[in-house]
Amino acid sequence: MATDNDTTTAHPVPAGVRALSASVTALAERPLFALDAATTRQTIVALSELKSRLAAYEYAVLAHAEEVQVGADTGCTSTGVWAANATRSPKNVTAAQVKLATALESRWHRVRDALADGVMNPDQVRVVVNALEDLPDDLDAALLVQAEEALVAYAVEFAPTELKQLGAHILTLIAPQVGEEIDRKRLEAAEAKAAQKRRFTLSFDGHGTAHGRFTIPEVQGQMLQKLLHGFAAPGHVNCTSASDDPEGGKREWVKGRPSAQKLGEAFCELIENYPRTSAPKVGGTSATVVVATFLKDLQDGLGTATLDTGGEMTVAQVRRLACEAEIIPVVLGGDGEILDLGDGKRLFSTPQRIAIALRDTTCTARGCDWPAYLCHFHHDTWVSKGGKTDLKDGRLLCPHHHARAHDPTYDMTVHADNEVTFHRRT
């Protein structure tokens, strides 16, 4: 009576796998120090091709495993579950592998053969098969073959990311008259679906922080991302932090994409700088935040202010926002009577902004070179203390130094060269 061991030993496939495994083991024991750069490059390419050939055979075996239902005897619900248990792999990964293996064996033979020849790698195969599977079910068979052949040919030149883009529009590339109409319908359906998923939630934790989640269509998401990246300014020279140098002397070159913190700061700037004239009406007036504070607190730079939304902010924050954001300040007397109701016109005009930007060119804090288009316009004499919105009283400060200018723990000194430095108050 034959046993599993007899079958495994006698069949040429497992015997070949064992021989291949032994060869790889022996190869791993050989030192690499004698390989020069050219030979190392050739070896890396050869290994990549070998990995593709091995992946093609693995997919063939997985497709056969699905056919003979290898997991049935052990009570597994699917070949993917059995493979996950046998190889200690995630079930979603093995399920996707079995699905891909079946598709290659039953339908996408040109992709399968390209993988077996080492022409395509497994990552490319996954992208191409996904693109082919997404094509309409009623597509003409000849166009289906043409699409598969075209994507296999593209794989010789393009990486998975580019292949994914090509695959999404493959019909437009090979048959524009068919593909453009299909792309239009697909885009319309995607946009309609995205519009139905629009959501926004906002909650306040009672400790000075708001938390939110949102889902918006991709187009508006990209618009928001571009706006935030404009505020976050990737690649600029970063202003010093308070802990580095109180006079702003230390600078650091910011590399790569903006961090989550930088994007958070940019989002706050976007909200603060939204034009009040563009805000919708709420209760007959524009949806502009109204801030009420006492005159003495405003003059001293101490205390808190109350928002008409029920929130609170420090007077220092009010002073900073009065330079840039179109808030409406309400100044109260000691008994709470309204002494002054501002009209929100605390911003420099466009001609004034241009003139100040041409004059200062960068943030005027010593050692900071944020460009003018990323800076705020600050009043040297605060609006709360009678400062005028004119050229003489205005200057450029980056968001970091603008916040410091209104920080009651710092003093700002204006020097003869129009640059400013900050010193912590003692």
Chain segment 285-324, per-residue pLDDT in tens: 444 556 666 666 666 666 677 665 566 777 677 666 666 5
Range of the domain at 187: 37-193
**Cα Rg for the chain, rounded, in angstroms?**
33
Grade residue 173 by pLDDT with cuts at 50, 70 and 90: confident
In a domain, 75, yes or no: yes
Task: Say how far apart CA 222 and CA 314 lie, in whole Å.
Answer: 34
Q: Cα-flanking dihedrals φ and ψ of residue 98, to 5°?
A: -65, -40
Q: Report the distance separating Cα 422 and Cα 413, nearest Å.
A: 6
Is residue 361 a part of any domain in this protein?
no
Is residue 342 domain-resident?
A: no
Q: Is the pLDDT of residue 254 over 50?
A: no
**Which residues, including other chains, have CB under 8 Å from residue 249's CB and lie 6 or more apart?**
240, 366, 367
On whether residue 382 sits in a domain, the answer given is: no
Residue 162 resides in a domain: yes
Phi-psi group of 374: left, alpha or beta (phi > 0 → left; psi -120 to 50 → alpha; rest → beta): alpha
Q: Closest by alpha carbon to 394, among 421, 375, 374?
A: 375
Length of the chain as a residue count: 426
Region 246-272: mean pLDDT is 66
- Which residues make beta-bridge pairs with 419? none
Specify the number of domains making up the chain: 1
> For residue 100, what pLDDT is reported?
94
For 409, the token pair is 């723990």
Q: Is residue 12 part of a domain?
A: no
Residue 272 belongs to a domain: no
Of all residues in the chain, what percent carry a pLDDT higher than 70?
A: 73
Percent of residues, the chain, with pLDDT higher than 90: 31
The 3-state DSSP class for residue 204 equals strand
pLDDT digits (tens, 9 = 90+) for 312-322: 777 677 666 66
Indicate if the pLDDT at residue 5 is higher than 80: no
Domain assignment of residue 152, yes or no: yes
Q: What is the pTM of this model?
A: 0.51
Q: How far is CA 189 from CA 186, 192, 194, 220, 415, in A?
A: 5, 5, 9, 16, 61
> In this predicted structure, which of 15-29, 262-276, 281-295, 314-328 has the lowest mean pLDDT?
281-295
What pLDDT sits at residue 232? 74
